[in-house]
Structure 1
Amino acid sequence: MAEIQLRNLTKRWGSFVGVDKFDLTIRDREFLVLLGPSGCGKTTTMRMVAGLEDATEGEILIDGKRVNDLDPKDRDVAMVFQSYALYPNMNVYENIRFPLRVRRIDPATHDERVRRASAMVELDDFLHRKPAELSGGQRQRVALARAIVREPNVFLMDEPLSNLDAKLRVSTRAQIKNLSHELKVTTIYVTHDQIEAMTLADRVVVMKKGVVQQVGSPTEIYDRPANAFVASFIGSPAMNLMSGQVTGGTFTADRVAIDGVGAPDGPVTLGFRAEDASVVEGGGQINAPIYTMELLGDATMIAVRIGGALVSVKADKTYRAAIGDMVSVAVPSDHVHLFDATTGERIDG
């Protein structure tokens, strides 16, 4: 049992606010992802939970017990960092075993626990090797096994996949997903990669400049972003956002006219996802020359320029055209998202 409560957690350095009034309960066994760009406060939040940073204000409770004044070693959390932090003079077996020795766990249990942890991350054939003889993905798995072997109350993972190449990232992500299902340990995972967040999380916390923008399941955040920032950060490609004007239920911008928009007259930001629009023969809501085209294998991604923004549309994989050709794009009004032109907050029409 490891419920974590963060109550108005704040971190300041002088006048700079790194995390501002972070207030959230992380449920027992939940996999929570902190997502946002560099400098948004996600790693600082996790380091405060770990005890590596002192909170300026607010409280951290693990299982109802206030841990603000406890040393990291007394909080029963295990961390996996972006850098693997392995001991080069020890083989894989001893690296995994190290936390058990430091914590003076009964030596009679070490071998069984090390081998169970190594099996979970498929390292049984590498236990005799030194870190220098391993690939980046294997080293990251050693770091994961070293955290698993402790059997902690809480896992804290800080961008653990960012040093891996794209293919390894996919396979290691799958491994972490499977481990979280098997181990059922409360996990806080920090990343700037929204694909990691969408695939791993039970809930996602999107942060910007130290402030929580939205908390919800990946589906909720994808389908109903709370503001234009969240909309622009989630999705691959990100949601298209266009500045324009609503007059009598019609949104207009350069080369754009979309009827049936439920917003008061005035300036708005309109968004839609690439997969919700389609290329048509004519009569679409957007008519513009193709700016660029990318063949993705399963689809063709077309982009047109609207004002200062690039707007992406997913077409059929067989679609072919040249840059500069005029294209007509249908945008269903029931798939658009509207945001306040000034604050960026969602408008529910």
Structure 2
Amino acid sequence: MAEIQLRNVNKRWGNFVGVDNFNLTIADKEFLVLLGPSGCGKTTTMRMIAGLEDITEGEIAIDGRVVNDLDPKDRDVAMVFQSYALYPNMNVYENIRFPLKVRGVDASTHDERVRRASAMVELDDFLHRKPAELSGGQRQRVALARAIVREPNVFLMDEPLSNLDAKLRVSTRAQIKNLSHELAVTTIYVTHDQIEAMTLADRVVVMEKGVVQQVGSPTEIYDRPANAFVASFIGNPAMNLIDGEITDGIFETRNTHISGLGHADGKVTLGFRAEDAALAPEGDGQITAPIYTLELLGDATMISVRIGQSLVAVKTDKSFRAEIGDPVSIHVPPDICHLFSTETGQRIEG
């Protein structure tokens, strides 16, 4: 069992706050993703769990035991880095085996454990090769196998796919998803890629500027973002956000008129997702504006219009044809709209 608890964890360098009052319990065998932009504190949080970074305040407990003062080697965690961190002079077999040698594991078990780990990530045909003879995807699989062979209590993965090209990212992501199911080990995964977070996680922690913004399942975070930052960070494309004013249940701003919103009068930020809106016959939509750009996605066409300072996207049929500058009408049902405080960014329930 490997339940991890972070209690009031803070990390500061002088006046700079890297992680601010982080509280979370990560369940045994859970796949948790720390998600946020560069510099938000997600990697620092992981490094504190690993013992590679000292905690300024707070406690981290693994299996009920506070590990603040334990060296990384004594925490029973295995880490997979963005940079692979392989030994260039060793072949794949020896790279995978290395953690077993360092930890003094019975040598008679090494071969079986190395081959079991390599089979899990489909490296059996490459065990004799040196890292320089491998592709980026193969090197990342060696790094994964080296973590697996340890049979640790906790896996820590720091942006393991960010050095791979788009096609390899998809296949390696599927492999990690399958591995996590097969190994059933508590996993903490750091990424700035919201698609990785949505596809891999049991729960997602969205962070910004060292502060946890929302914790929930991918579905919860997608369907009910806690604030405008989460709304703008999750989804591909991100949620459309338009600043305007509600009067008598009607949201208005330039080229936009959406009625049926039961909220007190005043300034708000209105949000909706591209796939929840649709093109309407000319003049029948709640938003009317010239096309700013079109993107053919294969299965659909993404159209964007400009409303004030905001680009607003709507997904439509792949057969749709038009030119930049052509006027379009967009139908936005009031029941798919999200409202956020323009002042604080927090979600307005209603």
TM-score for both structures, normalised by structure 2: 0.99
Unaligned runs of 5+ in 2: none
Structure 1 residue 227, shift from structure 2 partner: 0.1
Q: Secondary structure at the match of 2:251?
A: strand
* 1:109 equivalent in structure 2: 109
Distance of 2:277 and 2:253 partners within structure 1: 17
Three-state SS of the structure 1 residue aligned to 2:306 is strand
CA distance in structure 1 between the partners assigned to 2:261 and 2:41 by the alignment: 36
**2:343: which partner in 1?**
342
1:297 aligns with 2:298: yes
Residue number in structure 1 paired with 2:158: 158
Aligned to 1:326: 327
2:269, 2:298 → 1: CA distance?
31
Q: Distance in 2 between matches of 1:253 and 1:120?
A: 55
Q: Which residue in the other structure is 1:14 paired with?
A: 14
Are residue 309 (structure 1) and residue 316 (structure 2) matched? no
Deviations 1:61-84 (A, max 9, x none): 000000000000000000000001
Give the residue type in structure 2 aligned to 1:305: R
Identity %: 82
Aligned partner of 1:215 in structure 2 is 215
Distance between the aligned counterparts of 2:69 and 2:291, measured in 1? 59
Question: Which residue of 2 is the match for residue 280 of structure 1?
Answer: 280
Runs of 5+ in structure 1 lacking a partner?
none
Q: Give the ranges of 4+ consecutive aligned residues of structure 1 lying more than 2 Å apart after TM superposition.
A: none
CA distance in 1, matches of 2:263, 2:321: 36
Corresponding letter in the other structure for 2:36: G
What is the one-letter code of the residue matched to 1:49? I
Q: Distance in 2 between matches of 1:134 and 1:344?
A: 46
How far residue 333 of structure 1 moved from its aligned partner, in angstroms, is: 0.4
Shift of 1:280: 1.1
Provide the C-alpha distance between the structure 2 equivalents of 1:253 and 1:242, rounded to a whole number of angstroms: 8
SS of the residue 1:347 aligns to:
coil
The equivalent of 1:252 in structure 2 is: 252
Residue aligning to 2:142: 142
User: What residue number does 2:204 align with?
Assistant: 204
Cα separation, 2, equivalents of 1:30 and 1:332: 37
Q: Partner of 1:39 in structure 2?
A: 39
Distance in 2 (CA, whole Å) between partners of 1:8 and 1:262 is 38
Structure-2 separation of matches of 1:147 and 1:262:
52
1:16-95 superposed matches below 5 A = 16-95=16-95
The AA in structure 2 aligned to 1:71 is D
Instruction: Indicate the SS of the match to 2:178.
Output: helix
User: How far, CA to CA, are the matches of 1:299 and 1:288 in structure 2?
Assistant: 20
Post-superposition CA distance 1:7-50 (Å, at most 9, x none): 00000000100000000000000000000000000000000000
Q: Which amino acid aligns with 1:297?
A: G
The one-letter code sitting in structure 2 at the alignment partner of 1:320 is R
Partner Cα separation in structure 1 for residue 107 and residue 248 of structure 2: 75
How much does 1:262 deviate?
Answer: 2.1
Q: Distance in 1 between matches of 2:261 and 2:342?
A: 15
How far apart in 2 are the matches of 1:76 and 1:265?
A: 55
Cα distance in 2, alignment partners of residues 4 and 39 from structure 1: 23
Distance 1:167 1:297 in 2: 16
Q: Distance in 2 between matches of 1:93 and 1:113?
A: 11
CA distance in 1, matches of 2:261, 2:196: 33
CA distance in 1, matches of 2:165, 2:177: 18
Q: Please state whether the residue corresponding to 2:322 is helix, strand or coil.
A: coil
CA distance in 2, matches of 1:192, 1:130: 30
Query: C-alpha separation between the residues in 2 aligned to 1:262 and 1:335?
Result: 13
Deviation for aligned residue 1:292: 0.4
What are the superposed Cα offsets for residues 155-214 of structure 1, whole Å, 9 maximum, x if unpaired?
000000000000000000000000000000000000000000000000000000000000
